[in-house]
């Protein structure tokens, strides 16, 4: 093992230790040092140059980035998560023939899916999904995220919430909590359209608040247009757009002109 | 194979002026002539023949031949020429002499034909791929595609289709396929339009392609909430292949989750080999929507427990699930209803008169746009027989006769029109 690799390995051990005892400041520090050191290995992506230590270098780099992703979850930093994940991804997609698969691969891919779901980036979610093999889709970590997305799209929100109890990996809890917030906003949005009014009790349960006070705070902050009276929450219905009173003249003129132009060309 | 080529290369200088080299070069020159006539006469068929002839020649291609041909076909010092030559492996000096000699002997005609230029790209690309020089092939194909984007000629299309094929192939061989393939972005409407166009334009012989197009189009339409017509599934020659999709459509149409699950399971292997499995997973949501819409149309008031039962939601708490699903469907505008939480039922609103909204106008507009687009595409695809105008000149008499007939017909139509008013 050459000197650089030993240095990285030692630093990595210190980083893991710091990360384990939740000393985030020193862990983040060590991580940036590690990333700088990794740039000196030419065997890593994007160069993928052949070197005698290539396999060891690739393995340790993959390990480092996997830990970096987990650390970003612990520090609840979504931007860092995205960065680290994209640095990690080439190791999963492009080194398949050289490295044995990492046991962390599916949990981390699942985490990323969950992150996209939390950030409501559904298109990217499906893009990632298309890249996975059918055997990967069977993995509990991936399946968890896929089922969540389905329940989320259907509107079966309590299924989303109960999924928190069945997380396949402890790192998932952070994103599940974030998801709960997203779900609450969704429920609020659906409720105001679907109900004329709800009793305070029902509204509190539905929006998952433990006290009435929390509910009132939420209403005054996020939905000031809701009205609380006689022990119920009344939703102001947004006027429906059904019958059109006005003729959309400009649009009509534009369309008719374009028909005329096309017909002119035909005749 | 490489060995083979090397051997020939070594042999080439000694008898460079005799058999092998000139004959291949001669063939290529004939091909160039064919391209010219094809391009001037707008005869796509000739270009198709060019491609066929080239494929037959590809085994005989050598760097010296290719570069000699480039010197012949492209103006020396032109951008395309210098770029294409740079992709070719360096020759030894003798070959270079042959090269210049041939271009001196036949001073490059000022070919500015884009067809010929594109053909040169294709030739170099095929050569590079056969030589397994994939990174050069990648660069060459990228350059050719960039050039193609600036052209809009039907006679180039045939060559372009081959170029795109090799473009994709060379990226695949260098492992960068993902770079040039777009990603799926939930643009169902765009996808549908492109798929329908592709299916319509595909030649009748390309049945596999058309079947595949139809499969995708069906899924995309289902995802958009449309139900494809029965005739789509009854098209000649693809009835059998579309059976799984027909049953799937049926399940979505009825809105029966259980049936949907059964169909998805029954044809799971077909769907995953078609690469549509993930899309079908997304459809589940549409099945629920359709089911819900059917319920809301049929009942003016229904308990949430019944909704859950009808949708066959199987979970720990089906009523709560049904409630939030209904709420989301209301918010997304899929159904027009309200929920009464205290009594646990859903009340459908009277369906409004759709003709009081702008809906019909939108529908008409999109249909008109489709028809106009179809007409324009058809005009663009028209092919005129060469020299047909000459023939017409010769038979002036016939023309007069025809014009007379046309006038009569026009009169006839005008009379009919008058009758109608």
- Domain spans in chain A, listed from the N-terminal domain onward: 3-194, 195-241
Higher pLDDT, B399 or B310: B310
Peptide bond into A46 cis (omega under 30): yes
Taking only the tens place, the pLDDT of each residue in B27-78 is 888 888 888 888 888 777 888 888 888 888 888 888 888 888 888 888 777 7
Residue B6: the pLDDT is 42
How much is the average pLDDT of A119-132?
84
Nearest to B285 among A146, A153, A187 (CB): A153
Closest of B351, B295, B300 to residue B326, by C-alpha: B295
Extract the tokens encoding A188.
Answer: 């609020």
Tell me the shortest Cα–Cα distance from A163 to chain B, in angstroms: 12
Helix (H, G, I), strand (E, B) or coil at B88: coil
Output the CA angle B83-B89-B92, nearest 5 degrees: 120
Contacts of residue A190 in chain B, CB cutoff 8 Å? Answer: 324, 327-328, 330-331
Q: A143-147, A199-203, B40-44: which range is least confident on average?
A: B40-44
- Measured distance CA(B326)–CA(B335) in Å, rounded: 8
CA quadruple B253, B255, B258, B260: dihedral sign = positive
What is the average pLDDT across B223-237? Answer: 84
- Spatial contact of B317 and B311, defined as CB atoms under 8 Å apart: no
Task: To the nearest 10°, report the CA torsion of A61, A66, A72, A78.
Answer: 100
B187 versus A173: the higher-pLDDT residue is A173
Provide the total of helices (H) and of strands (E) in chain B, helices listed first. 22, 3
Helix (H), strand (E) at residue B73: helix B63-73
Pick from A155, A195, A199: which is nearest to B328 by CB? A155
Across A86-100, A197-211, B86-100, least confident range: B86-100
CB contact under 8 A, B321 and A244: no
The residue-averaged pLDDT of A78-92 equals 90
Question: What is the average pLDDT across A138-163?
Answer: 85
Question: Residue B342: its chain A contacts at CB < 8 A?
Answer: 199, 202
Residue given tokens 């012949």 in the structure block: B72
A72 has a pLDDT exceeding 50: yes
Q: How many residues does this entry show for chain A?
A: 267
Asked if B325 and A155 count as a contact pair (C-beta separation under 8 A), the reply is: yes
pLDDT at B392: 57
* pLDDT on residue B418: 66
At A257, is the pLDDT very low, low, confident or very high (cuts 50, 70, 90)?
very high
Is pLDDT above 50 for B10?
no
Q: Which fold has domain A3-194?
A: 1.25.40
pLDDT of residue B102: 43
Chain A closest-CA separation from residue B215 CA (Å): 17
Q: Which residue of A has its CA nearest to B281?
A: A150
Contacts of residue A161 in chain B, CB cutoff 8 Å?
A: none
Position B273 pLDDT exceeds 70:
yes
Q: Which residue has the higher pLDDT, A28 or B399?
A: A28
pTM, whole model, 2 decimals? 0.61
The residue ranges of every structural domain in chain B are: 2-180, 184-274
Closest approach of A111 to chain B, Cα-based (Å): 19
Backbone angles phi, psi at B249, to 5 degrees: -60, -40
Average pLDDT of chain B is 78
Q: How far is A197 from chain B (nearest CA, A)?
A: 8
List pLDDT tens digits, range B347-361.
Answer: 887 766 777 777 888
Contact present, B317 and B272 (Cβ < 8 Å): no
Q: A190 to chain B nearest CA, in Å?
A: 5
To the nearest whole percent, how much of chain B has pLDDT over 90?
Answer: 2
Q: Which residue of B has its CA nearest to A252?
A: B361
> Is the model's pLDDT at B14 over the cut of 50?
no
ipTM: 0.73
Burial of A82 (0-12, 13-18, 19+ CB in 10 A): middle
For residues A191 and B9, which has the higher predicted lDDT (pLDDT)? A191
DSSP of B193-206, one letter per residue?
Answer: HHHHHHHHHS-TT-
Integer angstrom CA distances of residue B408 from B150, B390, B392, B411: 46, 26, 21, 5
Mean pLDDT of B263-288: 86
Provide the percentage of residues in chain B whose pLDDT is more than 70: 82
Contact B80, B117 (CB under 8 A): yes
| Chain A residues with CB within 8 Å of chain B CB | 94, 122-123, 126-127, 129-130, 134, 137, 146, 150, 153-159, 162, 186-187, 189-191, 193-196, 198-199, 202, 241-244, 248, 252, 255, 259, 262, 265-266
User: What's the confidence (pLDDT) of residue A64?
Assistant: 92
Reported confidence tier of residue B186, pLDDT bands at 50, 70, 90 = low
- Calculate mean pLDDT across residues B135-160: 83
Q: Cα(A164)–Cα(A153) distance, rounded to whole angstroms?
A: 17
Residues of chain B contacting A252 with CB distance shorter than 8 Å: 361
- Using an 8 Å CB-CB cutoff, list chain B residues near A194: 326-327, 330-331, 337-339
As a whole number of angstroms, the distance between CA B327 and CA A195 comes to 8
Q: Do A190 and B331 touch (CB under 8 A)?
A: yes
Structure token pair of residue B114: 């884009």
Structure tokens at B104: 């001196």
The minimum CA-CA distance between A52 and chain B, rounded to whole Å, is: 23
Please name every residue paired with B347 in a beta bridge, in sequence order, or none if there are none: B301, B338
Residue B327 to residue A155, Cβ atoms within 8 A? yes
Helix, coil or strand: residue B249: helix
**How far from the centroid of its chain's Cα atoms is residue B30's Cα?**
31
Beta strands at A197-199 and A232-234: parallel, antiparallel or unpaired: antiparallel
**Alpha carbons A125 and B219: distance in angstroms, whole number:** 19
| B294: Cα within 13 Å, side-chain hemisphere | 14
DSSP H/E element including B303? strand B301-303
Gap between the Cα atoms of B151 and A166, Å rounded:
57
Mean pLDDT of B307-332: 84
């Amino acid at each position: 093992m050459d000197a650089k690799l030993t240095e990285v390995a030692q630093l990595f051990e210190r980083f893991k230790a710091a990360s384990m005892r939740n000393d985030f400041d020193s862990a983040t520090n060590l991580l940036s040092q590690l990333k700088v050191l990794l740039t000196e290995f030419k065997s890593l992506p994007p160069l993928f140059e052949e070197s005698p230590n290539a396999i060891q270098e690739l393995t340790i780099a993959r390990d480092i980035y996997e830990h970096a992703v987990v650390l970003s979850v612990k520090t609840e930093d979504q931007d860092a998560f995205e960065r680290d994940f994209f640095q990690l991804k080439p190791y999963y997609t492009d080194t398949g023939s050289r490295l044995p698969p990492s046991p962390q691969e599916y949990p981390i891919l699942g985490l990323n899916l969950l992150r996209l779901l939390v950030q409501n980036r559904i298109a990217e979610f499906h893009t990632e999904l298309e890249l996975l093999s059918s055997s990967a889709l069977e993995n509990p970590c991936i399946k968890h995220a896929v089922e969540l997305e389905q329940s989320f799209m259907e509107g079966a929100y309590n299924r989303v919430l109960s999924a928190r109890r069945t997380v396949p990996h402890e790192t998932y809890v952070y994103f599940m909590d974030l998801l709960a917030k997203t779900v609450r906003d969704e429920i609020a949005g659906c409720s105001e359209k679907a109900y004329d009014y709800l009793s305070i009790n029902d509204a509190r349960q539905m929006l998952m608040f433990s006290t009435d006070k929390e509910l009132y705070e939420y209403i005054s902050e996020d939905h000031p247009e809701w009205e609380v009276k006689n022990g119920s929450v009344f939703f102001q219905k947004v006027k429906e757009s059904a019958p059109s009173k006005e003729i959309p003249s400009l649009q009509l003129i534009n369309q008719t002109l374009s028909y005329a132009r096309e017909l002119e060309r035909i005749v | 194979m490489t060995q083979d080529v090397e051997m020939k290369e070594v042999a080439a200088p000694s008898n460079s002026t005799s058999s092998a080299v000139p004959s291949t070069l001669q063939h290529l020159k004939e091909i160039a002539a064919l391209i010219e006539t094809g391009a001037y006469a707008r005869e796509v068929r000739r270009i198709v023949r060019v491609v066929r002839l080239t494929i037959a020649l590809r085994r005989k291609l050598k760097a010296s031949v290719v570069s000699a041909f480039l010197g012949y076909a492209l103006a020396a010092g032109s951008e395309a020429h210098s770029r294409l030559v740079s992709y070719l492996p360096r020759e030894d000096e003798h070959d270079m002499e042959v090269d210049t000699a041939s271009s001196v002997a036949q001073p490059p005609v000022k070919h500015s034909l884009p067809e010929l230029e594109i053909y040169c790209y294709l030739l170099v690309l095929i050569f590079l791929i056969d030589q397994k020089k994939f990174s050069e092939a990648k660069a060459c194909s990228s350059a050719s595609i960039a050039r193609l984007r600036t052209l809009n000629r039907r006679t180039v299309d045939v060559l372009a289709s081959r170029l795109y094929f090799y473009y994709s192939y060379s990226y695949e061989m260098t492992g960068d396929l993902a770079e040039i393939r777009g990603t799926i972005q939930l643009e169902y409407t765009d996808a549908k339009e492109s798929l329908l166009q592709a299916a319509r334009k595909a030649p009748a012989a390309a049945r596999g392609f058309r079947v595949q197009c139809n499969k995708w189009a069906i899924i995309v339409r289902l995802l958009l909430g449309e139900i494809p017509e029965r005739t789509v599934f009854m098209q000649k020659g693809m009835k059998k292949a579309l059976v799984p999709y027909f049953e799937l459509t049926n399940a979505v149409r009825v809105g029966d989750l259980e049936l949907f699950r059964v169909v998805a399971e029954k044809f799971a292997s077909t769907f995953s080999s078609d690469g549509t499995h993930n899309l079908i997973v997304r459809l589940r949501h549409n099945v629920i929507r359709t089911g819900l819409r059917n319920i809301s149309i049929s009942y003016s008031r229904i308990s949430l427990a019944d909704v859950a039962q009808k949708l066959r939601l199987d979970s720990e708490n089906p009523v709560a699930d049904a409630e939030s699903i209904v709420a989301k469907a209301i918010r997304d505008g899929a159904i027009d209803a309200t929920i009464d939480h205290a009594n646990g039922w859903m009340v459908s609103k009277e369906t409004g008169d759709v003709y009081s909204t702008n809906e019909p106008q939108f529908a008409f507009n999109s249909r008109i746009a489709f028809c106009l687009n179809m007409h324009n595409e058809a005009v663009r695809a028209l092919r005129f027989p060469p020299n047909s105008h000459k023939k017409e000149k010769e038979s002036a008499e016939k023309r007069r006769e025809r014009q007379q007939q046309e006038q009569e017909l026009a009169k006839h139509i005008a009379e009919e029109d008058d009758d109608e008013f």
